């Protein structure tokens, strides 16, 4: 099957190595990129653009479901959204697991279910439940370090196999606590057994992140989310030895603009003639969803119709 169709669902065998592929992306010495997906269509489109891995974004999944990024969506709703993403793509999916949906017990249960549905890894942030999106307000209470290490260890001990990637996201800079606190936390989480750490910042320049990277060295692979410091060229991240960049919410934000423009124009013009060239053709949609696979399957499995064959 071609890689742009909506076919992960039918490719279980070919996709059995998705989890080691995510591990490879995170551990390799080359800079890797994960693209946000929040549903099946955004996943298939990101894959066909060339991305080798996906970020199942909490913000984007929440937004598409009509929830605030404050744990309003239940963990089972997140699992279901991730399942649609996994099915739609042939590339591995790293899940934004917020702060783990509660304590160690909620975190390990969610991790196990995500693994069962084909997720390749999980990122947990060191905040309490319910969390709030890192760019909203200034109240970001951090989890107790020892308690959060328990959450991480519980996930590690629960998910079978060696390949599922566990990433600890450090919110100390978001909470205004400074580099020392961020490093203390990162080392504690590395000792707890995570595969990589994600350092998050809400500043519009990458200074804090690059400072953290210098102090952190090669302790574990380092993942970043340059949503706010988007002007920094990725060459700076290569030089700093960063492992992975997550483009965290740009499919969802692109959809907002595209849908708004189309809705406003159709409303204004009382016509769809003007936008026909600006929206996906139906053939494009049918191709993304793999209608050709269904037609071929019908040939194979349905009895021949009267008058044919």
Q: Which is nearer to ligand SPV, 8 or 58 (CB)?
A: 58
Measured CA to CA, the distance from residue 223 to residue 52 in angstroms comes to 15
Site membership for ligand SPV, residue 227 (CB under 6 A): yes
Q: Which of 54, 93, 248, 288 binds ligand SPV (CB under 6 A)?
A: 248
Site membership for ligand SPV, residue 110 (CB under 6 A): no
From 154, 107, 119, 87, select the one nearest 21 (Cα to Cα): 119
Q: Which is nearer to ligand SPV, 240 or 248 (CB)?
A: 248
CB of 227 to ligand SPV, least distance (A): 4
Site membership for ligand SPV, residue 224 (CB under 6 A): no
The option from ligand SPV, Mg ion, none interacting with 99 (CB < 5 to 8 A, set by class) reads none
The option from ligand SPV, Mg ion, none interacting with 248 (CB < 5 to 8 A, set by class) reads ligand SPV
Q: Which of 42, 71, 208, 249 binds ligand SPV (CB under 6 A)?
A: 249
Q: Where are the beta strands (DSSP E) in the chain?
A: 32-37, 54-56, 93-96, 121-125, 165-170, 196-199, 222-224, 244-247
Q: Which is nearer to ligand SPV, 173 or 192 (CB)?
A: 173
Site membership for ligand SPV, residue 126 (CB under 6 A): no
Site membership for ligand SPV, residue 90 (CB under 6 A): no
Task: Give the footprint of Mg ion on this chain (CB under 5 A).
Answer: 58-59, 96
Site membership for ligand SPV, residue 57 (CB under 6 A): yes
Site membership for ligand SPV, residue 209 (CB under 6 A): no
Site membership for ligand SPV, residue 73 (CB under 6 A): no
CA of 301: how far to CAs of 10, 13, 179, 233, 287, in Å?
A: 15, 21, 61, 52, 21
Measured CA to CA, the distance from residue 276 to residue 278 in angstroms comes to 5
Cβ atoms of 173 and 201 within 8 Å: the answer is yes
Q: Which is nearer to ligand SPV, 142 or 248 (CB)?
A: 248
Q: Which of 172, 225, 245, 288 binds ligand SPV (CB under 6 A)?
A: 225
Cβ atoms of 199 and 182 within 8 Å: the answer is yes
CB of 131 to Mg ion, least distance (A): 8
In sequence order, which residues have a C-beta less than 8 Å from that of residue 58 and are 6 or more positions away? 69, 78, 96, 97, 98, 133
In sequence order, which residues have a C-beta less than 8 Å from that of residue 269 and are 6 or more positions away? none
157 is annotated as an active-site residue: no
The contact set with ligand SPV (CB under 6 A) reads: 57-60, 69, 96, 133-134, 225, 227, 248-249
List the catalytic residues: 69
């Amino acid at each position: 099957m071609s890689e742009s169709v909506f076919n992960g669902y039918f490719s279980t065998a070919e996709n059995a190595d998705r989890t080691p592929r995510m591990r490879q992306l995170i551990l390799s010495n080359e800079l890797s990129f994960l693209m946000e997906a929040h549903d099946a269509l955004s996943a298939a489109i990101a894959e066909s653009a060339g991305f080798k891995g996906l970020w199942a974004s909490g913000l984007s999944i929440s937004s598409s479901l009509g929830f605030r990024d404050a744990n309003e969506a239940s963990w089972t709703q997140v699992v279901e959204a991730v399942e649609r993403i996994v099915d739609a793509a042939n590339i591995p999916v790293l899940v934004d697991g917020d702060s783990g949906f509660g304590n160690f017990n909620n975190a390990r249960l969610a991790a196990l279910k995500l693994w069962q549905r084909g997720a390749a890894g999980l990122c947990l942030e060191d905040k309490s439940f319910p969390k709030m999106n890192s760019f909203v307000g200034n109240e970001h209470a951090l989890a107790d370090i020892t308690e959060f290490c328990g959450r991480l260890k519980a996930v590690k001990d629960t998910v079978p196999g060696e390949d599922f990637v566990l990433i600890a996201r450090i919110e100390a800079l978001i909470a205004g606590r400074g580099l020392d606190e961020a490093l203390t936390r990162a080392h504690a989480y590395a000792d707890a057994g995570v595969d990589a750490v994600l350092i998050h910042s809400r500043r519009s320049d990458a200074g804090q992140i690059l400072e953290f990277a210098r102090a952190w060295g090669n302790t574990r692979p380092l993942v970043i989310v340059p949503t706010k410091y988007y002007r920094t060229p990725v060459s700076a991240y290569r030089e700093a030895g960063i492992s992975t960049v997550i483009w965290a919410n740009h499919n969802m934000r692109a959809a907002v603009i595209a849908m708004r423009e189309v809705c406003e124009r159709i409303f204004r013009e009382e016509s769809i003639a003007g936008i026909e060239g600006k929206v996906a053709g139906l053939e494009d949609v049918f191709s993304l969803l793999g209608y050709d696979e269904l037609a071929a399957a019908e040939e194979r499995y349905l009895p021949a119709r009267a008058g044919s064959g």
